[in-house]
Structure 1
Amino acid sequence: MKSLQRVYWICLVLVSALSVVLWYSHATRLDVTMMANVGLRGYVRITPGKMDQFLDVHFKECALVSSSGQMLKAGKGKEIDKLDCVIRMNNAPTVGYEHDVGNKTSLRVVSHTSVPLILKNETYYFQQSVGTVYVVWGPERNMRQDGKGHIFNILLKAAKKYPHAKIYVVTRKKIQYCDGLFLNETGKNRMQSGAFLSTGFFTMVLAMDMCDRIQVYGMISDDYCSQANHTAVPYHYYEKGRMDECRMYRVHEKARRGGHRFITEKAIYGRWALHKKLQFNHPSWTDRENVS
């Protein structure tokens, strides 16, 4: 009798365990399906009256085009324009530079500090280039949505004026996530170390969120400026006569407050390239490229 009761309880436990496994498997599949349909939740469209539309894009291969002076005389325009998605930063122009950087712009990642520069030519950006997606990042004090966020208010006004413009903002949680990435990669708290993440950092994270493979153009490696034979180029390809790129990088890397850690960020990208589908072009990071 006791043996039969033991068998009964064992069977009951097994059935219960199997039920839990089946339920969990079903719930997991539902969760994955739901997540696949909500888009990139770290990026929300500015739409008057609501803020519930997430960026929902996916591309097989993207071009991430740096604003670096490395792009001068690159001659990569046609190659760049052939890719599924072309990502640019801030107000980097294409007109007059088509041979080197291409003409196509699928998405722009814009710093809060560059928003005024975009608005100086708002008709071009928000009306003529109606197919371009704009993703704007900035600190909470500028992007808050309670009427006190200066940059957010400007963007909301633009969204009302150009209702077809696709203007998104990076959410506070996503910015915190990027801060966490920086901490995990460097062991340093970004705020305590006095560093600001660059537009390039947010652009790289977004590209990895939405692209299967990323072709990066014009971005130098972390050790490029220490090479004796490195080429001196402008910080931006469209701003000649300004401080050269490597000097700018060194100044920011050593800044106690408010500096972008450009060199540190490039070292992070180099490590990501070992695991993510990143390929660096002009100059090529041949010793770091991910071979797939």
Structure 2
Amino acid sequence: MIKPTIERPSSVASVSSPCRSCSRGPLLAVLLISLVVTNAEEVSNLTNVWPTANGRPLITTAVVSSTPSNLRIAYCLALVGAPTVAMAAQHLAAISLLRQTGTKKDVLSMQSPNSILRLGDALRTLDTKVVFVPHVEGKCRTSSSAEQSRFRFSFSFHILRVYEQTQYDKILYLDGDLAVRTPPDRLVEAWARQGTTELRTPTGCNRVPDQKHYNTGVWGITPSRDYAARLYPWLAAGKFPCGIGSQTWVEFFGANNSWTRASLAWNLKADQGTSRCMRKWGLREAHVVHWSGNRKPLGLRTADPVEARALAAYQAAHLRWLTFLDAPAVDNIRIWHNRTHTQRSGATNQSALSMPLPRCNASAPDVAPKASMRQRLCAKPEVRAALSAASVPVLWSRDLVRSQKRFMNEKPFAASKFEPFIEQLPRNSLMSSAWPDGCEMCDTCAVVGAGGSLRKFEHGAQIDGHSLVLRPNWIITKGYENKVGTRTSINLFFGVEGMMEQFEKHQRSLPEERRAIGLITSNSDRSVASFFRYMHRVRKSTVLNKTATAAETLVTPSRVFLTTDAVYHKALAELCRATGEGCMWQRTSGTMRPSTGFISVIIALQICRNVSLFGLTDDPCQPFHYYGEPKATCTKAIPTKNDEPLHWFEKEHEIYARWHREGRLTVPT
């Protein structure tokens, strides 16, 4: 195969690409597309729109080598800050137009935690992966339009988190106010083969970008945690006007990055006159139409024929997704409500969230008394939102205390109650905040329960071979190493002060490399109250051992952290879906509570790419716990001392089996 002749910009210092062995990010699969062009005429037709180096076509031969098979490429769009329904619909419109071009590459939706109903369903329909990102703290000088400028400043701080998505080698970042009209795969692949750090598109109506002037609405980056670690402190320490954003920052900070030019056809600005710019530079196609500046696509009309086609497609997609998001329907329940202008602008649709409960079929098997109480639990807006969310944050953090008014567990309370302990909470909800030496998104994870079925197998070595081992409850492993393994990365348990203290004491007795972190379940007010009391004791102990000057930088030495209420909502939502929205239950209890084991599985699905379950199935001939006394006879009955009316272990086992069939996790045998 003939290799293409490629020229790199000589005026810019070359920066080597980050290593591919760097730590990986969130759970994301990659589909790679190879490119082989065998027709010389096809290549010549691309010279006006293909990326160029030093003003020349990037491809100068008729045959192009394919993209390396191990190269990971994705597109990324951001929905950050405090997004409204209307903003989410714009986000979805841009993604749907990108998908309509036929690309099969991964698309990322980089989001701040939000409660927009059905957004997760919409993104799954578009085969889009969700990545939650925390705040990057920083300050700016006020300007004439302070509120709008601060929003732009904050938004820019968020979107630069794209550099942390190191599970990919190259990412093309796209703004949400543009319409992609042509598959960008070959553009990105050609840039990736060139090996430069960035792909840059021009500003205004310029034909190509230059070193200091380029537009980040269509912008290729090489993810690197090292680069991000240098960028964030630089941003936080800078004295920037609120009005400037990521485009200005990266032009300064990335001035010495190596880069490849892309034609204006890949970022035609509508405010410059789309057709006018195409005529000026002889462009035959508009691959991306971008409504940059103050010219935005919603409610816009235009006489420009090229812009009009892109605008019609964008506005139609936006209206479809706005209707989808603004009219939630859960399990075939019809919702009748009026869509007001306020609702279309993003206000919560209260009529949809307070709809009448469906009536349980009293003659159906397993329908238990107090069904209406369980139904009301399942009908809570936060539970319904969690069901459609692609993923949820795991750690309760300072960011969430500041952005969330209430902690919505079984007995909701004001998030401000965490203020006395806020410095003891992790800065954000990423696992690296609590577990610096661990993986942010682990490749293989084992969730190891205490089920008696573990006695039948010797899975110990297989369990220890996983990147992360998560054990619900703090249970015995000594004497059963060949069956249950020896490693523990995370223990999840109900909040009891004495147990937290014992856990910490035990971890301090272990070598640093063998220490685990503890996660506390958040559903029960008793569990959270115990966490409060324990944090107060830790804080008091820490303050007494610090000098007056060091007290300002107080950080708790505790390895115990609280899980978010969103984890509880996600687990409860899955139980609701499996029990007819609470109609079916094994007991007369009006409360249904996911077990610690079930919550552990939910957490693993948020932070792991491949999840395997051990000891979370029952066996009628084995003891309830693997360390328990053998049964006298085979029976499916749960021992009285282990029977808990708030849990339904058998139903949870059915859910695991369904997820195994669907490929969401593996249950080894």
Amino acid at match of 1:272: W
Distance 1:248 1:150, change over 3 A: same
Q: Distance in 2 between matches of 1:245 and 1:69?
A: 13
Q: Distance in 2 between matches of 1:50 and 1:117?
A: 19
Q: Distance in 2 between matches of 1:217 and 1:54?
A: 27
Amino acid at match of 1:232: Q
Report the counterpart of residue 29 of structure 1 in structure 2: none
Tell whether 2:589 aligns with 1:207. no
Q: Higher helix proportion, which one?
A: 1
1:170 deviates by 1.7
SS of alignment partner, residue 396 of structure 2: strand
Q: Higher strand proportion, which one?
A: 1
Tell whether 2:526 aligns with 1:151. no
1:186 to 579, 598, 607: 579
Query: Higher relative contact order by CA 8 Å / sep ≥ 6: 1 or 2?
Result: 1
Amino acid at match of 1:43: L
1:158 deviates by 4.6
Tell whether 2:549 aligns with 1:174. no
Q: Distance in 2 between matches of 1:168 and 1:40?
A: 16
What are the superposed Cα offsets for residues 15-39 of structure 1, whole Å, 9 maximum, x if unpaired? 5447879x9xxxxxxxxxxxxxxx9
1:49 to 423, 427, 433: 423
Amino acid at match of 1:238: Y
Distance 1:156 1:200, change over 3 A: farther
Report the counterpart of residue 504 of structure 2 in structure 1: 122
Report the counterpart of residue 351 of structure 2 in structure 1: none
Q: Distance in 1 between matches of 2:536 and 2:482?
A: 35
SS of alignment partner, residue 44 of structure 1: coil
Conserved in 2, the CA contact under 8 Å of 1:45 and 1:166? no
What is the 5 A alignment of 1:65-84?
65-72=448-455, 74-84=457-467
Report the counterpart of residue 288 of structure 1 in structure 2: none
Tell whether 2:666 aligns with 1:279. yes
What is the 5 A alignment of 1:237-252?
237-240=626-629, 246-248=636-638
Report the counterpart of residue 520 of structure 2 in structure 1: 136
Q: Distance in 2 between matches of 1:171 and 1:86?
A: 20
Amino acid at match of 1:49: E
User: Which has the greater radius of gyration?
Assistant: 2
Structure 1 unpaired stretches of 5+: 1-6, 24-38, 226-230, 285-292
Conserved in 2, the CA contact under 8 Å of 1:48 and 1:156? no
1:241 deviates by 7.2
What are the superposed Cα offsets for residues 164-204 of structure 1, whole Å, 9 maximum, x if unpaired? 44322122233123222211222133897433210111011
Conserved in 2, the CA contact under 8 Å of 1:71 and 1:100? yes
Report the counterpart of residue 265 of structure 1 in structure 2: 652
Conserved in 2, the CA contact under 8 Å of 1:45 and 1:54? yes
Distance 1:116 1:172, change over 3 A: same
Distance 1:19 1:201, change over 3 A: closer
Amino acid at match of 2:625: H
Report the counterpart of residue 219 of structure 1 in structure 2: 616
SS of alignment partner, residue 197 of structure 1: coil
Q: CA RMSD in A?
A: 3.8
Amino acid at match of 1:44: W
Conserved in 2, the CA contact under 8 Å of 1:62 and 1:215? yes
Amino acid at match of 1:54: S
Conserved in 2, the CA contact under 8 Å of 1:55 and 1:168? no
Report the counterpart of residue 236 of structure 1 in structure 2: 625
SS of alignment partner, residue 83 of structure 1: coil
Report the counterpart of residue 196 of structure 1 in structure 2: 593
Q: Distance in 1 between matches of 2:309 and 2:639?
A: 62
1:251 deviates by 8.7
Percent identity over the alignment is 18
Q: Distance in 2 between matches of 1:45 and 1:127?
A: 27
1:88 deviates by 0.9
What are the superposed Cα offsets for residues 68-108 of structure 1, whole Å, 9 maximum, x if unpaired? 22223632222211111111121112223222211111111
Q: Distance in 2 between matches of 1:199 and 1:129?
A: 27
SS of alignment partner, residue 128 of structure 1: coil
Count how many residue pairs are aligned between Structure 1 and Structure 2.
Answer: 245
Distance 1:245 1:165, change over 3 A: farther
1:63 to 446, 452, 456: 446
Tell whether 2:309 aligns with 1:14. yes
Conserved in 2, the CA contact under 8 Å of 1:63 and 1:87? yes
SS of alignment partner, residue 395 of structure 2: strand
1:108 to 469, 481, 491: 491
Conserved in 2, the CA contact under 8 Å of 1:196 and 1:260? yes
Structure 2 unpaired stretches of 5+: 1-301, 319-390, 399-420, 432-439, 543-554
What are the superposed Cα offsets for residues 139-186 of structure 1, whole Å, 9 maximum, x if unpaired? 352355xxxx23332255357669444322122233123222211222
What are the superposed Cα offsets for residues 223-249 of structure 1, whole Å, 9 maximum, x if unpaired? x54xxxxx232x222343799994327
Distance 1:187 1:154, change over 3 A: same
Q: Distance in 2 between matches of 1:193 and 1:199?
A: 19
Report the counterpart of residue 61 of structure 2 in structure 1: none
State the TM-score, normalizing by the size of structure 2: 0.32
Q: Distance in 1 between matches of 2:511 and 2:646?
A: 32
Distance 1:79 1:9, change over 3 A: closer
State the TM-score, normalizing by the size of structure 1: 0.68
User: After the TM superposition, which of the residue ranges 46-55 and 193-202 deviates more from structure 2?
Assistant: 46-55
Amino acid at match of 1:119: E
Report the counterpart of residue 3 of structure 1 in structure 2: none
Q: Distance in 2 between matches of 1:19 and 1:196?
A: 43
What is the 5 A alignment of 1:82-101?
82-101=465-484
Report the counterpart of residue 34 of structure 1 in structure 2: none
1:265 deviates by 0.8
